[in-house]
């Protein structure tokens, strides 16, 4: 078990994937960084998923940077060991295939959302996505973090926060903590949040947490059964 510390970078784009990380709590965003230094988030991961599973598709440097947005805990195993058990365990292959499918859906919808939807709606969608993964309505997010996630300036984030407060979607945002009202925030979000949730529920049935626990105990020791 390892601690996922707030704002910690778990892997960087361009680096070889050394570990596969399975969060038990907390939230992680997958970031793309452009040549000019601008960033934007492409997906969110919580206890339903893992960081580094795409390495089973073949050896290649990571294309994304994984950043902890809400602190938690995780199991971590060497990527080489994970590749070995992936090849030997049908249960693990099935779980990883489901996870990759869910990630591809996030990437595709996220790309469309970033291109077509107003930044106000995108911010509301991201706050809901992160709240889904931490299971409460107080998010440890600074304006700088939201600027990185959305790919906009901090001055834009300040304006967006003001607008969402006026609409009742955000109750308060002080000292790096944002308290949201999920019902009102959902009205400000684009349809992408709802679609992503429905797609994830289809890929991961209600028993998915128990199924993953069967192959990945909290000590991080993978079963070969």
Confidence band for 101, pLDDT divided at 50, 70 and 90: confident
Q: What is the pLDDT of residue 203?
A: 64
Confidence band for 163, pLDDT divided at 50, 70 and 90: very high
pTM for the model stands at 0.86
Is the pLDDT score of 225 beyond 90? no
pLDDT per residue over 122-150, tens digit each?
A: 999 999 999 999 988 999 999 999 999 99
- What does pLDDT average to over the chain? 87
The domain segmentation of the chain, as residue ranges, is: 2-207
What are the tokens at 219?
């000590």
**89-94 own/partner pairs: CB under 8 Å, 24+ apart:** 89/215, 89/222, 89/223, 89/224, 89/225, 91/211, 91/214, 91/215, 91/223, 91/225, 92/215, 92/222
* CA distance linking residue 43 with residue 172, whole number of Å: 25
pLDDT per residue over 202-215, tens digit each?
A: 666 653 443 344 34
Q: What is the pLDDT of residue 25?
A: 95
Confidence band for 217, pLDDT divided at 50, 70 and 90: very low
Average pLDDT over residues 176-195: 93
Average pLDDT over residues 109-124: 94
Segments of the chain assigned E as strands:
2-4, 9-11, 19-23, 27-33, 39-45, 65-70, 72-78, 138-139, 170-174, 177-180
Is the CB of residue 70 less than 8 Å from the CB of residue 140?
yes
Is the pLDDT score of 181 beyond 90? yes
Q: Which fold has domain 2-207?
A: Jelly Rolls (2.60.120)
What are the tokens at 197?
């949730």
What percent of the chain lies above the pLDDT cut of 90?
65
Confidence band for 37, pLDDT divided at 50, 70 and 90: confident
Contact partners, residue 219, CB within 8 Å, separation at least 6: 1, 75
Q: Is the model more confident about 105 or about 163?
A: 163
Q: What is the pLDDT of residue 209?
A: 44
What are the tokens at 157?
């984030």
């Amino acid at each position: 078990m390892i601690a996922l510390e707030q704002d910690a970078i778990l892997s960087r784009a361009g680096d070889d994937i050394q570990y596969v990380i399975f969060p038990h709590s907390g939230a992680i965003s997958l970031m793309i960084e452009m040549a000019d230094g601008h960033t934007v988030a492409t997906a969110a991961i919580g206890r339903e998923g893992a960081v580094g599973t795409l390495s089973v598709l073949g050896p290649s440097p990571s294309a994304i940077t994984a950043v902890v947005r809400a602190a938690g805990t995780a199991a971590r195993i060497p990527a080489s060991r994970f590749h070995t058990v992936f090849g030997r365990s049908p249960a693990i292959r099935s779980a990883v295939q489901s996870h990759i499918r869910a990630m591809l859906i996030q990437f595709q919808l996220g790309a469309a959302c970033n291109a077509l939807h107003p930044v106000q709606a995108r911010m509301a969608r991201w706050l809901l996505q992160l709240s889904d993964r931490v299971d409460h309505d107080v998010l440890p997010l600074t304006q700088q973090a939201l600027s990185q996630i959305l790919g906009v300036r901090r001055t834009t984030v300040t304006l967006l926060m003001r607008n969402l407060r006026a609409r009742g979607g955000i109750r308060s945002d002080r000292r790096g903590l944002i308290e949201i009202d999920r019902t009102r925030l959902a009205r400000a979000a684009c349809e992408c949040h709802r679609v992503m949730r429905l797609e994830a529920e289809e890929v991961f049935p209600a028993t998915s947490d128990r199924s993953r626990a069967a192959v990945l105990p909290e000590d991080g020791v993978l079963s070969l059964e």
